[in-house]
Amino acid sequence: MPKVKLPRKSTTIDMTAMCDVAFLLLSFFILTAKFKPSDALAVVTPSSVQTKIAPERDVVLITIDKDNKVFLSVSDVNKPQKIELIDAINTSKALGLTDAEKANFSNKPSSYIGVPFNKLKSFLDHTPDEIKPDQLTGIPVDSTNNELADWIAAAKTAFAGGKMNLVVKGDNASTYPAFQGVKNAFMKNDEMKFQVVTNPAAVPVGSELYKANMSRKG
């Protein structure tokens, strides 16, 4: 065998370029990650296999917390509709809200309503930071006094001409009567379609839906 010693070349790779690329990608993802402002109302939603993403705009959000209190809020991008909504409620219920109180709802981001009409004026007098959701009673939705129906009717006029997404975000521990009250408020206003916010969950393997998805993809 010829005694040829292959010249051993150094096998060290310079990783600085790879490191630069990695941190560039990381910066990209950090900047495009939208951190949602934490909701004032902490709700643990159930999970479901639905794949449709919950809408972000044109949303009238009804939140049911674990003590069966009902809160109403509108997506912040719809400021004109928020102004119209609070105006409509003011005139229809003759609440005598001042402009500052109305602005407290329509201009503040993540504002919500969680009191019956008779307490609405004093609720809007305070800034949202002073009031904790635990102290509020929520909008009444029982069969004798379903104030949510009035709010939905006002929201319908505020969103007239455009699309309104009725979204319900309920806590796992809330009981059925609260959801029933919300459902009745929708039915009174002839709003038969609404959406329920859930956490995404995987389709159980072997179930009918799973088989249907597989046959659709294949």
- Give the residues lining the site for other proteins (CB under 8 A): 12-16, 18-19, 22-23, 25-26, 29-30, 32-34, 36, 45-55, 64, 167, 170-180, 183, 186-187, 192-200, 203-204, 207-210, 212
Q: Would you say 68 or 104 has its CB closer to other proteins?
A: 68
Alpha-carbon distances, residue 123 vs 44, 77, 112, 116, 211 (angstroms) = 25, 23, 10, 10, 51
Minimum CB–partner distance for residue 97 and other proteins (Å): 32
**Spatial separation of the C-alpha atoms in residues 125 and 200, rounded to whole Å:** 38
Characterise 115 by phi-psi region: left (phi > 0), alpha (psi -120 to 50), beta (else): beta
Which one, 14 or 130, has the nearer CB to other proteins? 14
Q: Minimum CB separation from other proteins for residue 93, in Å?
A: 25
Q: Which residue has the tokens 């370029």?
A: 17
Structure tokens at 172: 């796992």
Shortest distance, position 7 Cβ to other proteins, whole Å = 20
Q: How far is the CB of 29 from other proteins (least distance, A)?
A: 4
Choice between 147 and 191, CB closer to other proteins: 191
Half-sphere exposure of residue 119, counting CA atoms within 13 Å on the CB side? 13
Q: Give the tokens for residue 100.
A: 């500052």
Choose between 154 and 168: whose C-beta lies nearer to other proteins.
168
